[in-house]
Chain A
Amino acid sequence: MTTVHDSVDEAVAGIEDGSTVLVGGFGMAGMPVDLIDALIRQGATDLTVVSNNAGNGDTGLAALLAEGRVRKMVCSFPRQADSWVFDGLYRAGRIELEVVPQGNLAERMRAAGAGIGAFFCPTGVGTPLAEGKETREIDGRTYVLEYPLRADVALVKAHVADRMGNLVYRKTARNFGPVMATAATTTIVQVQQVVEPGGLDPEAVVTPGIYVDRVAVVPDRSGATS
């Protein structure tokens, strides 16, 4: 059952040290900044964070990294023009990095959420990222065996939720949110607005509420509405 919270601090309560945390977003689009800020205040540490990037600028995921709370990053694209926080930690040997091709990152979480034990994927065959992994030839093509990526917690930003936990997203801020919501034991979502059941068109729901545990309302401050 989904619970709705007025405060992000209440929504992130109970995240334990050593947790694996999925963090939505592609760059800053879809980044659940307010939930991350609440996680910083909450204090959990020694985290493994799974996210497409390894933080941008000094806010959101970058702020969590700067606090020294992340033991390991699992991501596809850590190095960017504004990833100075991660870059510094990595070069100082203060954070582990697992680089995963972006599609494998998404599909491994999808598999975790869908009860798939493992899957054969053509991505990365013959590259360093497939070294040591089991391969199989199927109909003349070589595939690499990839395992699900499941987590204790997912932090996701959506646009609007209803009280059932059904979610709709906004434009490319959707990105990893719907997949991450399925792959964690506890899925925590920040939205701009919560509406009563019936307030969302059931045909337009992207993430059904069965995947969502906690919703926190964070009114938008950026000016991007509609």
Chain B
Amino acid sequence: MTVTVREHTDRGPLSRDEIAARIARDIPRGAYVNLGIGQPTLVADHLGPDSGIVLHTENGMLGMGPVAVGDQVDPDLTNAGKIPVVELPGAAYFHHADSFAMMRGGHLDVCVLGAFQVSAGGDLANWHTGAPDAIPAVGGAMDLAIGAKQVVVMMTLLAKDGTPKLVRDCTYPLTGVGCVDRLYTDLAVFELGPGGAAVTETFGISYDELAARLDVPLRPGA
């Protein structure tokens, strides 16, 4: 069997919104999903109303709806980023120990997280830069990283200074070891695991160009 990379060189890199749409397309119907704070929340905009996907928020709710507007705003109903949201029909509330038992117990199908760095083997660094003056804050990142059945990361492939954020070994403090299954970026989609990084798709760059930009062993994979 020939393994091929779907190279989309006839277009530019994906925008943030396009990465979110690409992630949403791969989430199975009816899945229980947690979207991390920040960019991953964009994925919600691309989940169809008939997808049957149920959103979990760490602060104790399944069946979370979109951001609240106008009269819908209720200080007692927020998402993990403390932004007011609405509840959907069929929603359920529960306390924090139950909310995190759902994660650790393997009941969540997918979580989507942001990252500072991801290693080819699936290590995740997304909670602390390690800078001496930074105030560390972990929230639910470590629990989600080891808990969900499938851990997906959404990020730009390169930092603002051009250095790749997909690395051989993370230099930032780790959130979880070998926990990331799939990495979606503006330039490519990767499957990660003990065997290293496999590229399934590229955007605005060829597989060979991508391999030249990264300092990790890559293989084509579909």
Residues on A lying within 8 angstroms of B by beta carbon are 26-30, 52, 56, 76-80, 86-87, 90-91, 97, 99-107, 109-110, 121-129, 169-179, 206, 222, 224
Stretch at the interface among B26-34, B154-162, B174-182: B174-182
Chain A residues with Cβ under 8 A from B103's Cβ? 103
Closest approach, in angstroms, between the C-beta of B21 and any C-beta of chain A?
Answer: 27
Complex alpha-carbon distance, A76 and B127, angstroms: 11
Which of B104, B135, B147, B175 has most A Cβ within 10 Å?
B135
Ranked nearest first, the 7 interchain pairs of A and B with the lowest CB-CB distance are A103-B100, A103-B143, A126-B177, A27-B82, A106-B96, A173-B76, A79-B137
Give the interface SS of chain B, mostly helix, strand, loop or mixed: loop
Is the pair A125, B76 in contact by a Cβ cutoff of 8 Å?
no
Contacts of A77 in B (CB 8 A): 137-139
A175 touches B136 (CB 8 A): no
Instruction: Give the residues in chain A near B138, CB-CB below 8 Å.
Output: 76-77, 99-102, 129
Task: Name the residue of chain A whose CB is nearest to the CB of B134.
Answer: A79
State whether A107 touches B135 (Cβ < 8 A): no
CB distance A29 to B77 under 8 Å?
A: yes
**B74 within 8 A of partner (CB):** yes
Is the CB–CB distance between A78 and B82 below 8 Å?
no
Query: Does B140 lie at the interface of the complex (its beta carbon under 8 Å from any beta carbon of A)?
Result: yes
Chain A residues near B59: list those with CB within 8 A. 26, 29, 172, 175
Cβ 8 A contact of A171, one of B87, B97, B99, B128: B87
Contact status A102-B140, CB under 8 Å: yes
Task: State in angstroms the CA–CA spacing of A100 and B142 once bound together.
Answer: 10
